[in-house]
Amino acid sequence: MRSSWRTLDRGTLRDIALVCLADALVGASFGAISVSGGLPAWVPVAMSVLVFAGGSQFAAVGVVLAGGGPLAGVLAGLVLNARLLPFGFAVADVLRGPWWQRLLGAHLLTDESTAFTLRHTDRERRRAAFWVCGVALFVIWNLSVLLGAAAGQAVGDTDALGLDAAFPAVLLALVLPSLADRRTGTAALLGAAIAVAATPFLPPGLPVLVALAALATAVRRPGRDGRGDRDGRTAPEPGLQEVP
């Protein structure tokens, strides 16, 4: 871990620290909302250690507190966590090693750790970004949930605090740099429109998955990305001559 800190630049470490700070507020909100809603304190704490997925934890607790059964809460969490499957493919190169290391890495896979990994192209920096962000978030998240659960009984109206708004704010901050790309921005806007349109008709969690259909607009077609000619043939690499 110490070598990973030295591998990353100060800007990345600063951004990871800021994300950890924001997620600490979200974790405290989750612990407080869960306990003030009537759940035992061990429930949000155990979920944070074993599940470690903020969105899924909020969804599961929200379903249970709204009157749904435990099975419905688990299904809601699974639906939201389905987005992590393509994330795993995107960062698979940093999860190589013994089986226990791959298992631990899969547990630490989050939106934030994936985003920081994708910021780098060098394998060592990608690996360092993933593990530093993942471990730091795991520690901060669980501590903040524990503190939030302990303070939950003293909080009156948790909705009035607005701490849960920090979670979407963190995700928005992470994706903003990627929206500078025209294809990515178009896909994001189309996905948002699909999610909003599907929300009145689908259960919570499903509109986000349906919105993934917008990714089709971001796929680069051969001969359309500036590397192919008008006939659809792939252009030769710079410095190489095409053999007739």
- Asked if residue 229 has pLDDT above 70, the reply is no
- Asked if residue 138 has pLDDT above 90, the reply is yes
- Asked if residue 136 has pLDDT above 70, the reply is yes
Q: What is the pLDDT of residue 89?
A: 86
Instruction: Tell me which range, 24-38, 155-169, 204-218, 227-241, is most confidently predicted by mean pLDDT.
Output: 24-38
Are residues 122 and 198 both part of a single domain? no
Q: What is the pLDDT of residue 10?
A: 84
Examine residue 235 and state whether it is found in any structural domain, yes or no.
no
pTM for this entry: 0.66
Q: Please give the average per-residue pLDDT across 188-214, as a whole number.
A: 77
**Tens-place pLDDT, residues 9-34:** 788 888 899 889 888 988 888 888 88
> For all residues of the chain together, what is the average pLDDT?
77
Examine residue 160 and state whether it is found in any structural domain, yes or no.
yes
CB 40 within 8 A of CB 65: no
Q: Which domain holds residue 66?
A: 2-176
**Tens-place pLDDT, residues 62-117:** 778 777 777 877 877 787 788 788 888 888 888 888 889 889 989 999 888 888 98
Are residues 210 and 144 both part of a single domain? no
Are residues 140 and 192 both part of a single domain? no
Are residues 122 and 94 both part of a single domain? yes
Examine residue 164 and state whether it is found in any structural domain, yes or no.
yes
Q: What is the pLDDT of residue 146?
A: 93
Q: What is the pLDDT of residue 236?
A: 45
